[in-house]
Structure 1
Amino acid sequence: MSIRLNDTAPDFTADTTEGKINFHEWIGDGYAVLFSHPKNFTPICTTELGYMAGMEDEFSKRNAKIIGISVDPVESHHKWKADIETATGHAVNYPMIGDTELKVAKLYDMLPADTAGTSEGRTPADNQTVRSVFVIGPDKKVKLTLTYPMTTGRNFDEILRAIDSIQLTAKHRVATPANWKQGEDVVLTAAVSDEEGNTVYGGFERVLPYLRKTKQPAN
């Protein structure tokens, strides 16, 4: 079963480098970024985990937790941490899920549900679809999904930018245009009348009959 936007993120219990967690309880009343890896001790994933470790404070400012997952055992994750810090200069302090039975990978449709066996003996190529990012909101709904090929490192600055947009548009009846960044103009949604555009949002520019730009509302 595929995971679509606004679906409830599947809940699960799993062992992590920070102990056993129940995913929905762990998310709590904030946002979560779940990002997956096909195998430990792989070059691109090593850079990604380290980059995310360096960004942890930025996610925390947005009330967003980060959690990694690989199909390898938790014990292997702990050993991998040393390599990640050596390569990137950042220590991984966020939890990393061990998914040796492939349960979470299947639950999130990153591997076919009928995939047999465990992580033992599987290669990165076998798990190449376990390269997804899921942003999940306080309501436990999926807000964003992305899947990258193994040879392309993920752009986690984009994930941060998307969270800024998701959080802003959850509070205000606006949308963010292409390449939008914090502080830039936004677009009024169809739910906002012209009168409200003037009284609530302080005016707007009508670019097209259906495209009205206005200043970003205060968070």
Structure 2
Amino acid sequence: RKEKKDNMKPKHPEEQEIPFRLRELMRSREAMKCPGPGKRRAAEEKQQQKSQGPKAPGAVPVPRFRRGKGESERSYVCRMQQEVQRVLFLAENQLQREPEKEATAPEKSKRKKEFQKKKLEKARKKKEEKKEALLEKSLFQDKVPFGEVVTQPPTITSRPRGRAPAQQAGRKQLLLRARLGPSQASPASLASPVPPVVSMARRRILEEERARVIRAYRDIQRRKQLERERAQ
């Protein structure tokens, strides 16, 4: 039966083995200081891409030449000439760029703008309604001093704004009143509670005048009806 090597005394007390985690940390630090050829090349390419910045759409990439391992000088020169010819061809045939007309930053979508506008309008409307409600509440609220006693409801001393005073009965300007004379249409005679004593001749004149006014009124109404029928 094999004994476990965990938690055992070292063979030599003065020599202790380096822990596994510490060895891995030391190995990774050494690899960062001295990277291999493949990793070094990948890091250089990444650094070059960062220094060049983001490529614009339609831009021709600039080739970087490096002689391969075991590549002859002639083949290396031919490869460079081919790459140069290809880059020149692409540069001559690419579209004319106008960077000043390109959009600098993407604008917000129309839907998002409408949503923000509706949200602001709703908040403003709600604020105005709240303000109006507070104002209306303050108008209908009386400040009663301390100790005041009310024994009857308040009396209205002012009429509503924009409304004329109410006319008394018998004082309205009617159509028949305009047909009557000034003596018959006087408000004092109509409003008097006790009718005055009228003679027979005066009564006959009043009846004739009344019949004349009624006929005139009926003529006016008939004329208006005929005009309405003609208009139709």
Larger strand proportion, structure 1 or 2? 1
Q: Which has the higher contact order (CA 8 A, sep 6+)?
A: 1
Larger gyration radius, structure 1 or structure 2:
2
Larger helix proportion, structure 1 or 2? 2
TM range (shorter): under 0.3
